[in-house]
Amino acid sequence: MNIEKIVSDARIKVAFIGTSLPRECGLAVFSQDMMDQLEKFEDFAQTSMVSVEEGRSYRYGHRVIGRINQNKQRHYAEAAAELNRTDTDVVIIQHEFGIYGGENGRYVLDFASTLKIPFIVIFHTVLAAPSPEQRRIMKELAALSFKVITMARNKIDDLIDVYGISPSKIEMHHHGVPTVSTESREELKERFGYADRQILSTFGFLGPGKGIEYAIEAMKGVVESHPEALYIVWGRTHPGIKRLEGETYRETLRKRVHELELDGNVLFVDKHLSQKEVVQSLVMSDIYLTPYLGKDQAVSGTLAYGIGYGRVVISTPYRYAQEMLADGRGLLAEFRDSASLKHQILSVLDQPALKADMERRTLILGQKMRWNEIAGEYASLLRTCLLKGSAV
């Protein structure tokens, strides 16, 4: 480890630990967005990052001041010790089991226990039925931290009852959504050649847990009534899945599209989207789909983006979707049930007034989830952490 000294500054200096762009990872995007926003506050200095790598080295920007090889345990304590020697005021640990080394990512505890700087932990995954080791890791991280953050209200009770974390340690803040200016839905459709189409979409890394096959099968019934419907699946195969299985899942989906004679109604865009392209894909959409298979999924960044831009969302009823689509903000279909998906899609396409009402309701919440709002909440928390964290 060789963490560069952070230049002394009277403003608040925040360091992150987690994954960093250009690594293709949702946590890396989240960190990048949050760092960009925090630096807009006058009392915050330039943010920094200690990046965790899975074995591949990346060419980072100026914010990355240190690197940890995910599977080298000694790097974690060394990184924390070196960070202690900088003038960093507060640290943010982005927690996801898969990005840290050791059983269930336990090496992150070496970092946290060595760190002398007050820190908060953002739990991106809160399992309803964790293994004993997973429970222990999160409970110990919470005990060492100033605060722990969840992005779903439905997970507060789990953190208390399942993980034994004190309610006083827990805060809930929505997943941030970037503000990007785009053309209108009609203008984007015209520009991309979809002026007469009803656009359904899903974006993000492609993998078997996304349930795309059920959405494709639902499209067979949808196009019987709406031949203009087009389902666009945006995104590359998840890098980890691609290393292990190649493009098996994508090719299975393509084969199913051909079997169902939906070649003109389902489109795969095999690329990692820029932030602007993600927002354009959403704004252009009439319906956003998350037909995911995991019932306990606590947070979905892609669904958060759909909410943030006021799209009609149709989803399977995983926990985050149930919470975010309540009060008329979307529709829920059964898990692994293409007929149920088809029914909900047609409910929207056949009822323009219902669609408009859901978009209005969704946007009310979505505007509160933009990063300029969420970053203000984190800035306030970090100021408090700096003032009181040394007493923890």
pLDDT digits (tens, 9 = 90+) for 180-211: 999 999 999 999 999 999 999 999 999 999 99
Specify whether 161 is located in the same domain as 251.
no
Q: If you average pLDDT over every residue of the chain, what do you get? A: 94
Query: In the block, which residue shows the tokens 């709002």?
Result: 373
pLDDT given for residue 390 in this prediction: 52
Specify whether 226 is located in the same domain as 358.
yes
Residue 191 lies in a domain: yes
* H or E element that contains 297: none
Could you give the angle at which helices 248-259 and 212-225 cross, rounded to 10 degrees? 20
Specify whether 129 is located in the same domain as 66.
yes
- pLDDT higher than threshold 60 for residue 345: yes
Residue 276 CA to residue 305 CA, distance in Å, equals 12
pLDDT given for residue 392 in this prediction: 45
Residue 330 lies in a domain: yes
Specify whether 140 is located in the same domain as 244.
no
Residue 8 lies in a domain: no
Sequence-distant (6+) residues with CB within 8 A of 206 are: 212, 233, 235, 236, 237, 238, 241, 249, 250
Number of domains the chain contains = 2
Specify whether 365 is located in the same domain as 376.
no
Residue 9 lies in a domain: no
Specify whether 375 is located in the same domain as 364.
no
Give the CATH number, domain containing residue 302.
3.40.50.2000
Specify whether 364 is located in the same domain as 217.
yes
The pair of three-digit structure tokens given for residue 279, joined into one six-digit string = 């927002």
Residue 324 lies in a domain: yes
pLDDT given for residue 180 in this prediction: 93
pLDDT given for residue 2 in this prediction: 53
Residue 273 lies in a domain: yes
- pLDDT higher than threshold 80 for residue 391: no
Q: Is 231 helix (H, G, I), strand (E, B) or coil?
A: strand
Specify whether 201 is located in the same domain as 75.
no
- pLDDT higher than threshold 90 for residue 3: no
Residue 1 lies in a domain: no
Mean pLDDT of 63-88: 96
Residue 84 CA to residue 372 CA, distance in Å, equals 30
Specify whether 313 is located in the same domain as 341.
yes
pLDDT given for residue 389 in this prediction: 63
- pLDDT higher than threshold 70 for residue 9: no
Sheet arrangement for strand 266-269: 266-269, 229-234, 198-203, 287-290, 312-315, 330-332
pLDDT given for residue 298 in this prediction: 80
- Residue 299's pLDDT band, with cuts at 50, 70 and 90, is confident
* H or E element that contains 352: helix 352-366
Residue range of the domain that includes 33: 14-176+371-387
pLDDT digits (tens, 9 = 90+) for 226-246: 999 999 999 999 888 898 899
pLDDT given for residue 388 in this prediction: 82
Mean pLDDT of 155-163: 96
Residue 335 lies in a domain: yes
Specify whether 257 is located in the same domain as 290.
yes
- pLDDT higher than threshold 70 for residue 1: no
Specify whether 24 is located in the same domain as 154.
yes
Mean pLDDT of 336-363: 97
Specify whether 381 is located in the same domain as 347.
no
- pLDDT higher than threshold 50 for residue 370: yes
Let me know: does 223 contact 262? Beta carbons within 8 Å.
Answer: yes
Q: What is the pTM of this model?
A: 0.90
pLDDT digits (tens, 9 = 90+) for 243-269: 889 999 999 999 999 999 999 999 999
pLDDT given for residue 297 in this prediction: 81
- Residue 25's pLDDT band, with cuts at 50, 70 and 90, is confident
- pLDDT higher than threshold 60 for residue 61: yes
- pLDDT higher than threshold 50 for residue 131: yes
Mean pLDDT of 386-390: 76
Mean pLDDT of 9-13: 85
pLDDT digits (tens, 9 = 90+) for 121-130: 999 999 999 9
